[in-house]
């Protein structure tokens, strides 16, 4: 059973191809896709809100606990195929003050989300990055997708 789960996870991670786009058809070096390594996540609390009547999109939120590996005011992570509606950055030891200065998502194929804080983030101190988003359903069977089937004498279910 464990092997089946492991193979499923590997298949999901390896099978998704980002379609090339003429808009971004530039030669981006491989190292440009690697995160800078100035922080690392230790916990993700992900919630998805799926509406069975809505086949166009879903909503969700995530809280990521992370630790900077160097003193920095910038966090970079991957954020593909989502529309971020709200974002906040908090010191995990004092969640009363949002220390987010700004954020932006790269418009090239790297899909980097860059988050800048108002203050320097201290090495090995825990921080919480809270993101609310709208996501699109996958058009294939990888990720979150909508599936229907035909039942005789009933129709599409």
Residue 157 maps to a domain: no
- Locate the DSSP E strands across the chain: 39-49, 57-68, 72-78, 82-91, 94-98, 100-105, 112-121, 127-136, 150-151, 155-156
Is 16 domain-assigned? no
The reply to whether 101 falls in a domain is yes
Q: Report strand pairing: 94-98 vs 100-105.
A: unpaired
Q: What is the CATH number of the domain that holds 108?
A: 2.60.40.1730
Per the CB < 8 A criterion, the answer to whether 75 and 39 are in contact is: yes
Q: Does the pLDDT at position 16 exceed 60?
A: no
Give me the pLDDT at residue 138, please.
87
Q: What value does the CA radius of gyration of the chain take, rounded to a whole number of Å?
A: 19
Q: Is there a domain that residue 28 lies in? A: no
C-beta of residue 124 within 8 angstroms of C-beta of residue 68: yes
Asked whether residue 20 is assigned to any structural domain, the reply reads no
Residue 63 lies in a domain: yes
Instruction: State the pLDDT at residue 37.
Output: 86
Query: At residue 7, does pLDDT exceed 80?
Result: no
Number of domains within the chain = 1
Give the residue, 79 or 9, on which the prediction is more confident. 79
| CA–CA gap between residue 13 and residue 75 (Å, rounded) | 23
For residue 1, the model assigns a pLDDT of 40
> Looking at the predicted structure, is the pLDDT value of residue 94 above 80?
yes
- Give me the pLDDT at residue 90, please: 98
pLDDT tens for 102-132 read 999 987 888 899 999 999 999 999 999 999 9
pLDDT at residue number 23? 52
Mean pLDDT of the chain: 82
Instruction: Supply the range of the domain harboring residue 127.
Output: 35-151
Sheet holding 82-91, edge to edge: 39-49, 57-68, 127-136, 82-91, 94-98
The per-residue pLDDT for range 43-87, each reduced to its tens digit, is 999 999 999 888 889 999 999 999 999 999 999 998 887 899 999
In a domain, 9, yes or no: no
Q: Judge whether residue 11 has pLDDT over 70.
A: no
30 falls in which pLDDT band (50, 70, 90)?
Answer: confident
Contact 65/126 with Cβ under 8 angstroms?
yes
pTM score: 0.74
């Amino acid at each position: 059973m464990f092997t089946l789960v492991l193979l499923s996870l590997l298949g999901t991670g390896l099978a998704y191809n980002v379609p090339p786009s003429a808009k971004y058809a530039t030669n981006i070096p491989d190292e440009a896709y690697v995160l800078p390594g100035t922080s690392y996540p230790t916990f993700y609390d992900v919630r998805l809100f799926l509406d069975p009547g809505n086949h166009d999109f879903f909503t969700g939120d995530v809280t990521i606990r992370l630790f900077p590996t160097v003193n920095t005011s910038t966090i970079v992570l991957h954020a593909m195929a989502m529309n971020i509606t709200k974002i906040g950055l908090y010191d995990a030891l004092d969640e009363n003050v949002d220390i987010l200065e700004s954020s932006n998502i790269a418009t090239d194929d790297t899909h980097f989300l860059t988050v800048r804080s108002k203050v320097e983030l201290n090495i090995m101190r825990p921080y919480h990055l809270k993101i609310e988003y709208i996501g699109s359903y996958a058009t294939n069977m990888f990720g979150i997708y909508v599936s229907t089937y035909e039942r005789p004498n009933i129709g599409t279910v």
